[in-house]
């Protein structure tokens, strides 16, 4: 389930990995981030979110500590945001077109800040949350008990990967190549993508190890003989630049390119809240689309804010300027943030892709005895109705 994303760096986030610890963060506590870049496509009437019936504070629940993958949401913050170090959240006026929209936005950290619970469970526990980060696997898994509807695909592709040492395994080009050997693969137990890889025969059950703790310790201890899960926007950089005991290049393949092409970090709402939020989302979602475009095109100011938040929260999560810059460059290079090839604009969901994921996930969850919604279809968990078709990356 998507919870593996929340757990992905649990050990690394809580630091103290001895000789292989990553470098301390060198972020600057610079002045407050300037106003968000103007929305270029929404009509002037879209600016007044208060008149559109949005809550006085739009609350966004993320799935992890602040990082560049969340940049499009932090881009919404206007100048001089308020940082709450106890709650691990930041709030301020929600800006569009260089001016306030009449409401505030609060962005809450996930992972350790919510006890490593799923974002969905947090959304049902705390009804003040307007939007939360969702993954297709989590949506399908919880469709019967905590149904959600994703309204914006924040990432076109999941950045989740399996990586390996090209020095130790020069013949590996894909995850399938790993499966042709007995190479151990480290991952977080419970990840649905691994059930898929094993079920399709891409990897062998005998070679996967679900005891991964999020640190490079076991991989480095194997002298690069093991393969290990990670995120294309982070670990390939940290392993080759910041893990002193390794400090060598890594190769990888995206899980999406191995056939498990799920939506990760989509923004969605509780299904029961959708009717009351419809008017608000009609105005808000295009602003959120444009904020993603603005961040990817000019990330420096928002990345500086993200680094400032990491330092202020001070919960053991290490995030450096180098990783932040690498993440944005990698998102663009690999199409992790991109226009939907099916529609041509940013943030939309491909119904055929969602249906394929449902088809993959149903038998996986059936084996565990999990009950899914009887009316489970792409349109029951995703919608493109609030998106502005004019908002797209150049």
DSSP state, residue 106: E
Q: Tens of pLDDT along 27-57?
A: 333 333 444 443 444 344 448 999 999 999 9
Q: Residue 210 above 60 pLDDT? A: yes
The total of other beta-carbon atoms located within 10 Å of residue 367's CB is: 10
Q: Using CB atoms within 10 A of its CB, is residue 44 exposed (0-12), middle (13-18) or buried (19+)?
A: exposed
Mean pLDDT confidence for 295-302: 98
Q: pTM value?
A: 0.89
Mean pLDDT confidence for 23-27: 34
Among candidates 137, 57, 49, 125, which has minimal Cα distance to 91? Answer: 57
Name the average pLDDT for the chain. 90
Terminal-residue alpha carbon distance, the chain: 33
CATH number of 31-156+262-381: 3.40.190.10
CATH 3.40.190.10 domain residues, the chain = 31-156+262-381
Which is it for strands 185-186 and 227-231: parallel, antiparallel or unpaired?
parallel
Mean pLDDT confidence for 366-375: 93
Give residue 34's pLDDT.
Answer: 40
Under DSSP, is residue 77 helix (H, G, I), strand (E, B) or coil?
strand
What b-and-e string marks burial along 220-254, b requiring 16 or more CB atoms within 10 Å of the CB?
bebebebbbbbbbbbbbbbbebbbeebeeebbbbb
Q: Which fold has domain 160-258?
A: D-Maltodextrin-Binding Protein; domain 2 (3.40.190)
User: Alpha-carbon distance 272 to 289, whole Å?
Assistant: 23
Q: Residue 19 above 90 pLDDT? A: no
Please say whether the beta carbons of 101 and 94 come within 8 A.
yes
Among candidates 374, 375, 377, 373, which has minimal Cα distance to 358? Answer: 377
Give residue 46's pLDDT.
Answer: 47
Structure tokens at 264: 């990760």
Structure tokens at 304: 């500086």
Q: Tens of pLDDT along 67-93?
A: 999 999 999 999 999 999 999 999 999
User: Alpha-carbon distance 64 to 67, whole Å?
Assistant: 8
């Amino acid at each position: 389930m998507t919870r593996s994303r929340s757990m992905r760096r649990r050990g690394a986030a809580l630091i103290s990995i001895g000789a292989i610890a990553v470098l301390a963060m060198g972020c600057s506590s610079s002045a407050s981030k300037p106003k968000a870049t103007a929305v270029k496509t929404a009509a002037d009437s879209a600016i007044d979110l208060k008149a559109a019936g949005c809550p006085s504070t739009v609350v966004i629940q993320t799935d992890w500590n602040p990082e560049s993958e969340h940049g499009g949401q932090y881009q919404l913050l206007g100048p001089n945001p308020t940082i709450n170090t106890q709650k691990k959240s930041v709030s301020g006026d929600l800006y569009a077109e260089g001016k306030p929209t009449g409401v505030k936005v609060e962005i809450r950290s996930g992972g350790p800040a919510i006890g490593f619970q799923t974002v969905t469970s947090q959304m049902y526990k705390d009804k003040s949350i307007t939007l939360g980060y969702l993954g297709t696997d989590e949506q399908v898994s919880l469709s019967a008990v905590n149904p959600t509807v994703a309204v914006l695909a924040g990432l076109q592709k999941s950045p989740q990967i399996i990586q390996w040492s090209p020095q130790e395994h020069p013949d590996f080009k894909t995850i399938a190549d790993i499966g042709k050997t007995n190479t151990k693969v480290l991952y977080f137990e419970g990840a649905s993508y691994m059930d898929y890889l094993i079920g399709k025969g891409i990897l062998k059950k005998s070679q996967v190890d679900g005891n991964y703790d999020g640190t490079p310790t076991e991989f480095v201890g194997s002298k690069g003989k093991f393969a290990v899960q990670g995120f294309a926007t982070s670990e390939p950089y940290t392993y080759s630049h910041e893990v002193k005991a390794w400090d060598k290049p890594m190769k990888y393949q995206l899980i999406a390119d191995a056939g498990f092409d799920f939506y990760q970090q989509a923004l969605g709402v509780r299904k029961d809240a959708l009717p009351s939020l419809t008017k608000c989302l009609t105005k808000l979602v295009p602003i959120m689309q444009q904020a993603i475009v603005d961040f990817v095109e000019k990330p420096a100011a928002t990345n500086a804010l993200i680094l400032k938040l990491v330092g202020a929260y001070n919960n053991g999560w290490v995030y450096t300027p180098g990783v932040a810059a690498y993440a944005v460059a990698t998102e663009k290079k690999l199409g992790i943030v991109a226009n939907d090839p099916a529609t041509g604009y940013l943030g939309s969901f491909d119904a055929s892709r969602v249906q394929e994921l449902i088809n993959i996930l149903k038998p996986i969850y059936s084996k565990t005895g999990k009950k899914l919604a009887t009316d489970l279809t792409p349109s029951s968990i995703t919608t493109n109705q609030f998106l502005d078709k004019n908002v797209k990356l150049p």
